[in-house]
Amino acid sequence: MEVTVIQHALINEKLTVLRDVETSNERFREALNDLSFFLIYEALREIEMVGKDIHTPLAKTKGFFLEDYPVLVPVVRAGLGMLDAALALLPRSQVGFLGARRNETTFEPEEYLNTIPEDLNGSHVIVLDPMLATGGSLLHTLEIVRSSGAGSISVICVIASPEGIETISSSSYSGDLFLAAIDEKLNETAFILPGLGDAGDRQFGAM
């Protein structure tokens, strides 16, 4: 697995907004959307393009287009905050939702929603999840995506713990992981430190 921490002043600013305990739900959603746009933009830097002759008002020239749009898989509910940014860049992409909540006793993922197509037919898949903590939910997502016939897979997170990265690196996943930051560690309840709290609650409120 190739891990890329994307460095940019604006990413650092948006990440600071996300971390700040004083940030409102509304402002958190705005900052997550902005930061997701930057991360996804960079993650798509090497995406495959096809050439096509076009005409400007003055001359013929060569243009470039995406031939196959990736399938987007936000991990519900926290990953929903990254979806609008992804669709702004990839408006023709299909979306499959995966809902997995963490069992607070075992820290293992418990799936409650899955709309990922049964046959991805070799499509490039982009998984969206703000936080990579233990790695359990992400591993579960990757297993489902691969069993559905995905081709290449990219994972885009805001922050990750070293433990979560080690979990994914030790698995059979061979794709790319794009991050804004690698934090210090997990605490005793498997939350990332310093982290940003619960990304779902920070967006939508504690239920």
Give 143-159 pLDDT, tens digit per residue.
999 999 999 999 999 99
pTM: 0.93
131 neighbors 195 (Cβ within 8 angstroms): yes
- Residue in 123, 157, 128 with CA at minimum distance from that of residue 141: 128
Q: According to the model, what pLDDT value does residue 102 have?
A: 72
Domain residue ranges in the chain: 2-47+66-204
Could you tell me the two tokens for 121?
A: 């037919």
Indicate the range of 73-82, 109-118, 150-159, 190-199 predicted with least confidence. 109-118
Q: According to the model, what pLDDT value does residue 106 have?
A: 75
15-19, 167-171, 174-178: range with highest mean pLDDT: 15-19
Q: According to the model, what pLDDT value does residue 111 have?
A: 87
Q: According to the model, what pLDDT value does residue 67 have?
A: 87
- Residue in 198, 136, 134 with CA at minimum distance from that of residue 163: 134
Mean pLDDT of the chain: 95
Q: What is the pLDDT of residues 86-108, one digit of tens each?
A: 999 999 999 999 998 777 777 77
Helix ranges (H only) for 90-190 are 136-147, 162-169
- Residue in 39, 120, 132 with CA at minimum distance from that of residue 82: 39
What CATH number does the domain located at 2-47+66-204 have?
3.40.50.2020
Q: What is the pLDDT of residues 26-77, one digit of tens each?
A: 999 999 999 999 999 999 999 999 999 999 999 999 999 998 999 999 999 9
